[in-house]
Amino acid sequence: MLTKKLRIGIVCPYGWDTPGGVQNHVRDLAEFLIQAGHEVSVLAPAIDEAKLPSYVVNAGKPIAIPYNGAVARVLFGPKAFARVRQWISSGDFDILHLHEPAIPSISLLACWAAEGPMVGTFHAAAKHQKVIYAIGPILEPAIEKLSARIAVSEAARLTLTNHLDTDAVVIPNGIYAKRYSNGISREDWSGNTLGFIGRFEEPRKGLQVLLDALPIIARFAPDVRVLVAGPGDSKEVEESIDPQLRRRFEFLGRISEEDKADFMSSIAIYVAPNTGGESFGIILAEALAGGACVVASDIPAFDSLLGSGEFGALFTSEDSTDLAKTVIDLLRDTDKRNRLSKIGKAHAQIFDWEVVAEQIFSIYEMAMVGGDKITLSSENRPWSRFLSRDEGKEK
C-alpha cells in the first residue's frame, strides 16, 4: 500500500498529556505511518515536554476552555502562531493533516499559515455548536484551503455540512482490532455481568441511566453484576448508589489494553448508555472487536456505528426502562447474544488500522496530485521572514 515515503505533518489541537479520543487517534495514526516507513512530525500542545515521544513537537502549554460540554485543552495566540509557522517552514512536509481545524486551536492556525496539500479531519459532532460555528464565515477562507476533508462519522459529517457548508468523506476512527480479538474469559468477570468503560463521573457518559435501569434488571436476573472500569473517583459514585444495589457494582479503576481485551470477552453485555456529545464511540468498536455483545443508546454516532442495530442492540437514549428491557431480553437469550457478538466482531474489522490507515493514505494521495509541497502561505511569508530574523537577534 504505502510505496512512496512521505514527510507527513500532523497537528493535534488538544493537549497531548490529557487523555482523549482525538489524541489517541493522532498517536495511533502517527505510529502506524511511522511503522510504514514515513517520516511523521506531530505538533501538539503539551504540559510536560519531557514525556513526549520523539515524533511530537511541543507547541506550548494548552489553556483550558469549555467546549462541547467538557473542558478542552487547546492553544492559540501570537506565540503559538509563531511556533506553528516555524514548524511549517522548517518541516518541508509533503502533506499536512490537521485535526479538528474548525475550533480555535493550533490546527486552525496551521490551516491559516500553510499552503499546499492539506487534509482536515473533523471529529466533533454536536447539535449545539453555534458558539464555535457562529464564526463560520471567518473560518471559511481557512477551511476552504483544505484539499480534502474527512469526518470520523456520519454525525460529524452532518455537523460539518450544517455549520460550514462543505462536504466530507467519512473514514472511521481506527483501532488495533487484533489487540482485542484474543482476550481470555476471566471467571470473576463472567456470568450475568454488564460492562461499562469510561469516565463514569461525567453525566454524558450515562452511568446514571444504567443505575436507574438496574433495579428492573435485577428483578429478572437476580445475579446480575455491573463492572465499571475507567478513571475517576469511585467512592463518591458508590455512595450515591442505593445500598441494596451497591453490592452489584464493582469498580475496577483504569484498566490496561490487555485487561480490556479480557474484559470484553468475559462480560455478558457491554453497555454504553451515553446521552450525547459522542461523535464516534471508539469504545464500541473496541467492544465489538473484543467479541462483546453491545447495548448502546440510540444517539446518532452509536446508531451509525452499530448499523442501526445490526451489530449491537440499541435502546432509546436516556430511557432506563427501555435499557432494562433490552438488557433483560439479551440476558435471557444466549443465542441472540452470541449471534450479535459474532456479527459485531466481524464488522469491527473495518475499524482496524490496516483498513483505516489505507483509506486515510489514499486521501493523502489524492490531495498530493498537484505535486506541490507544504509552504507558508503567501500572506504569511514576508511576515515570518521578518519574525525569524527577529528571533535570530534574540539569540
Partner 1 sequence: MKILIFVLVILVSLWYLSFLATRLDRLHHRVETSWANLDGLLQRRAAIALEIARSDFADPASSLLLTSASYQAREAGLKERSAAESMLSGALGLLIEDGQVHTNSAERALFEELSLLTAKIRIAISIHTDAVSSTQTVRRKLAIRLFRLAGSAPLPLVYEFEFDAI
Number of H helices, E strands in the chain: 17, 17
The region of 3-11, 80-88, 145-153, 310-318 touching partner 1 under the rule CB under 8 A is: 145-153
Q: Which residues make beta-bridge pairs with 119? A: 97, 148
Please pick, from the candidates 68, 129, 147, 159, the single residue that binds partner 1 as defined by CB under 8 A.
147
Residue 137 near partner 1 by CB under 8 A: no
Look at strands 63-67 and 70-74 and give their pairing: antiparallel
Told to check if 362 binds partner 1 by CB under 8 A, we report yes
Could you say which of 77, 141, 191, 307 contacts partner 1 (CB under 8 A)? 141
Could you tell me which stretch among 163-171, 195-203, 225-233, 324-332 binds partner 1 (CB under 8 A)?
Answer: 163-171
Contact region for partner 1 (CB under 8 A) — 9-17, 160-168, 207-215, 381-389? 160-168
> What is the Cα gyration radius of the chain?
22
CB of 33 to partner 1, least distance (A): 19
Q: Which residues contact 238 (CB under 8 A, 6 or more apart)?
A: 246, 249, 251
Nearer to partner 1 among residue 64 and residue 366 (C-beta)? 366
Please give the single-letter amino acid code of residue 363.
Answer: I
Residue for grid cell 509563531: 82
Q: Which residues have C-beta within 8 Å of that of residue 309, sequence separation ≥ 6?
A: 303
In angstroms, give the least distance from the CB of 144 to partner 1: 5
CB of 29 to partner 1, least distance (A): 18
Please give the Cα distance from 253 to 372 (Å, whole number).
49
Fill in the DSSP letter of residue 190.
Answer: -
Please, which residue, 259 or 365, has the CB nearer to partner 1? Answer: 365
| C-alpha dihedral (164, 165, 170, 171), degrees to nearest 10 | -30
Which stretch, 87-95, 178-186, 335-343, 363-371, contacts partner 1 (CB under 8 A)? Answer: 363-371
Task: List binders of partner 1 among 364-383 (CB under 8 A).
Answer: 366, 369-370, 377-379
What is the smallest separation between the CB atom of 365 and partner 1, expressed in angstroms?
Answer: 8
Question: Checking DSSP bridges between strand 39-44 and strand 56-58, what pairing results, if any?
Answer: parallel
Closer by beta carbon to partner 1, 38 or else 145: 145
Q: Choose the binding region for partner 1 from 34-42, 54-62, 159-167, 321-329 (rule: CB under 8 A).
A: 159-167
DSSP per-residue string spanning 111-142:
HHHEESSEEEEE----S--HHHHTTHHHHHHH
Which residue, among 9, 11, 3, has the nearest Cα to 37 in the 3D structure? Answer: 3
What is the rounded CA–CA span in Å between residue 49 and residue 86? Answer: 18
Binding part of the chain for partner 1, among 76-84, 290-298, 305-313, 361-369 by CB under 8 A, reads 361-369
Cβ atoms of residues 77 and 108 within 8 Å: no
Q: How far is the CB of 96 from partner 1 (least distance, A)?
A: 14
Here's the x/- map for partner 1, 91-130, by CB under 8 A: it reads as ------------------------x---------------
Give the list of residues 6+ apart from residue 250 with CB closer than 8 angstroms, or none. Answer: 225, 226, 227, 228
State in angstroms the smallest separation of the CB of 351 from partner 1: 17
Distance of CA 351 to the CA centre of its chain: 12
Window 66 to 85, contacts with partner 1 (CB under 8 A): none
- For residue 391, the minimal CB distance to partner 1 (Å) is 25
Quick one: which of 169, 221, 252, 355 contacts partner 1 (CB under 8 A)? Answer: 169
Binding-site size for partner 1 (CB under 8 A) equals 19
Question: Please, where are the H alpha helices in the chain?
Answer: 21-35, 78-91, 106-113, 130-133, 136-143, 154-164, 177-181, 207-220, 234-240, 243-246, 257-266, 282-289, 300-305, 320-332, 334-347, 353-367, 381-394
Taking the least distance from each CB to partner 1, the nearer of 132 and 148 is: 148
Nearest-approach distance from CB 168 to partner 1, in angstroms: 8
By CB under 8 A, tell whether 3 contacts partner 1. no
Binding stretches for partner 1 (CB under 8 A)? 115, 141, 144-145, 147-149, 165-167, 169, 362-363, 366, 369-370, 377-379
